[in-house]
């Protein structure tokens, strides 16, 4: 096998179909290697990215894995010949490094681990533990994908919030209804395994090679349901509509977990059954919105610390504007699709603003999980065909910005901003909104412009800065002109700011050691975004696998 990088294919040679892409890649490889079609057994894309730095030369860049007829020595001879003739070092012998899940090698039967939370981290942690033969118990306070979707639609239509099953809580976690972006800045051999697992569960095959892969909130429910079924087939147990309400920690000989109390809710009868279950290993993968879990851990003396997080608003533009700014004359080409962006602006006051969870052709969603608080987020469907683009537009909140010594002071600040947004919207989970031009001038908006807000509960025009700390609003205001230099049109006068976005990351970290175990409590395994160790679907899933491996290793 050979790995070949830096294969350039102009946009106008593609039409957005997989078949055309496959033919273009085969032709490019034949030209590159100077071999005949009969010599080429297969071409597998490994990475695809769009290079739009020059608007008159927008093209795709690929890395591929190639299998040729013949022996490995013939491949080495071919590489040497290419290097001699063209100085080409883009062809090399493939060295696959497969990822393997941990296996429990002990001979003794051990108590099954409990995984709290069925988001990305919890699902992949439970899957790995099940593969190891440990028959984990996975609990999730929210509902299955079908009931959860119905609860979200009901909330969007009526404003009646289900605090236990919503955008934040339910099978798949918050990531299920936030576009399903799989890009990550981290590197791990686990990434390929995660992507392959998602494809086997029903995600699009192209996520295996796209540099900025996404699944879509219309596809993710079936994907996470498939993974849940895998866990059960491997001997794990999954309980939905089930909360952890207590965790018992014994003090001698040193603090360690002994049991959890679970509260099971029957959505059909409304009955609630409480059960105490022995547990010597508990994975906390609850997500960053499970504030009651943070409060419980604080009460039980579990080590936690404040961490930097971010807050701000959702900003909406016309997707056509973003396409033109990113792709120039190639905007709208079917092979390119809706253009994304990623922006950051560093201000003179040492603060920064940045885009987050950018959703091309997407929608702003109502992401509240507590009564009386407005929270926004974004999502896209798999086709990304919406009229608007939206992104989180955020500024950091540092531990030093928070008053007092309470480790959960960041949670309280989030809650205050969400309540302020609820009041500014006039109730009913209507969100406050403001035009960019008015925000820059410090003037409340009285009406919208050409860009129609997509927030499903409707918006009340006003001043979103009143719902955020002054240093956050000032940072966002200072960043807009700088971001416009990176993406022309970002400061479009009637672009819409919808508040507030407070749940981009956890404001607290449940402190763990190098072995992924709590530094204060043996048998407690902080995991994923909520515990402060991830920031997106891929990094959360990777951390789930990392914690599972550490837990298995601890069992000997």
Sign of CA dihedral 546, 552, 555, 556: negative
pLDDT of 494 strictly over 70? yes
pLDDT of 333 strictly over 80? yes
Tokens coding 338: 């809706």
Q: Are 356 and 349 in contact (CB under 8 A)?
A: no
- Could you tell me where in the chain the CATH 3.30.70.2700 domains are found? 2-93
Residue with tokens 């990475």: 47
pLDDT of 72 strictly over 80? no
pLDDT of residue 395: 98
Band of residue 286 on the pLDDT scale cut at 50, 70, 90: very high
Q: What is the mean pLDDT of residues 360-370?
A: 97
pLDDT of residue 98: 82
pLDDT of 267 strictly over 90? no
Model confidence pLDDT, tens digit, residues 416-431 = 999 999 999 999 999 9
114-305+506-555 folds as FAD/NAD(P)-binding domain (3.50.50)
Model confidence pLDDT, tens digit, residues 194-235 = 999 999 999 999 999 999 999 988 999 999 999 999 999 999
pLDDT of residue 193: 94
In angstroms, the CA 324 to CA 339 distance is 9
pLDDT of 109 strictly over 80? no
pTM of the predicted model, to two decimals? 0.94
Distances 215 to 180, 359, 395 between C-alpha atoms, Å:
5, 12, 27
Class of residue 140 by CB neighbours under 10 A (exposed 0-12, middle 13-18, buried 19+): buried
Lowest mean pLDDT segment, chosen from 50-54, 101-105, 300-304, 306-310: 101-105
Percent of the chain with pLDDT over 90: 84
Q: What is the mean pLDDT of residues 479-508?
A: 97
pLDDT of 86 strictly over 60? no
pLDDT of residue 181: 78
Q: Are 498 and 431 in contact (CB under 8 A)?
A: yes
pLDDT of 34 strictly over 90? no
Q: What CATH code would you report for 2-93?
A: 3.30.70.2700
């Amino acid at each position: 096998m050979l790995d070949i990088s830096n294969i350039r294919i102009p946009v106008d040679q593609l039409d957005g179909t997989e078949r055309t892409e496959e033919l273009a890649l085969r032709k490019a490889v034949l030209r590159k290697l100077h071999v005949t079609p009969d010599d080429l057994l297969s071409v597998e894309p490994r990475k695809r990215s769009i290079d739009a730095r020059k608007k008159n030369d927008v093209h795709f860049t690929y890395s591929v894995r190639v299998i040729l007829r013949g022996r490995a020595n013939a491949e080495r001879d071919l590489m040497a010949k290419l290097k001699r003739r063209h100085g080409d070092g883009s062809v090399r012998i493939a060295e696959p490094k497969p990822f393997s899940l941990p296996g429990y090698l002990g001979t003794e039967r051990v108590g099954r681990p409990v995984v709290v939370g069925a988001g990305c981290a919890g699902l992949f942690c439970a899957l790995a533990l099940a593969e190891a033969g440990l028959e984990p118990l996975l609990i999730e306070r929210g509902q299955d994908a079908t009931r959860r979707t119905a609860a979200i639609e009901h909330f969007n239509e009526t404003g009646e919030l289900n605090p236990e099953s919503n955008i934040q809580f339910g099978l798949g976690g918050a990531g299920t209804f936030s576009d399903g972006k799989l890009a990550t800045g981290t590197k791990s051999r686990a990434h390929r395994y995660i992507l392959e697992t998602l494809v086997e569960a029903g995600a699009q095959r192209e996520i295996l090679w796209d540099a900025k892969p996404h699944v879509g909130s219309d596809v993710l429910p079936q994907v996470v349901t498939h993974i849940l079924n895998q866990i059960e087939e491997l001997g794990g147990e999954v309980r939905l509509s089930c909360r952890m309400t207590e965790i018992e920690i014994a003090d001698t000989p040193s603090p360690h977990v002994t049991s959890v109390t679970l509260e099971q809710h029957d959505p059909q009868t409304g009955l609630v059954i409480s059960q105490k279950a022995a547990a010597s290993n508990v994975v906390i993968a609850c997500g960053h919105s499970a504030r009651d879990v943070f409060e419980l851990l604080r009460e039980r003396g579990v080590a936690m610390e404040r961490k930097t997080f971010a807050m701000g608003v959702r900003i909406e533009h016309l997707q056509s504007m973003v396409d033109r700014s990113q792709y120039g004359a190639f905007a709208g080409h079917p092979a390119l699709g809706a253009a994304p962006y990623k922006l950051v602006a560093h201000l003179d006051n040492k603060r920064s603003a940045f885009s987050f969870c950018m959703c091309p052709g997407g929608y702003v969603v109502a992401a509240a999980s507590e009564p009386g608080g407005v929270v926004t987020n974004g999502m896209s469907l798999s086709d990304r065909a919406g009229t608007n683009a939206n992104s989180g537009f955020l500024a950091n909140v540092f531990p030093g910005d928070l008053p007092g010594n309470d480790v959960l002071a960041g949670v309280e600040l989030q809650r205050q901003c969400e309540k302020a947004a609820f009041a500014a919207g006039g109730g009913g989970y209507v969100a406050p909104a403001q035009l960019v031009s008015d925000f820059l001038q410090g003037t409340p908006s009285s009406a919208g412009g050409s860009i129609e807000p997509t927030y499903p509960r409707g918006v009340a025009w006003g001043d979103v800065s009143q719902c955020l700390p002054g240093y956050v609003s000032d940072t966002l205001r200072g960043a807009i002109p700088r971001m416009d230099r990176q993406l022309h049109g970002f400061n479009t006068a009637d672009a819409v700011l919808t508040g507030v976005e407070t749940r981009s990351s956890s404001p607290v970290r449940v402190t763990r050691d190098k072995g992924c175990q709590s530094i204060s409590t043996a048998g407690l395994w902080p995991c994923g975004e909520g515990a402060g160790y991830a920031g997106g679907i891929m990094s959360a899933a990777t951390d789930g696998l990392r914690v599972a491996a550490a837990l298995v290793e601890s069992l000997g």
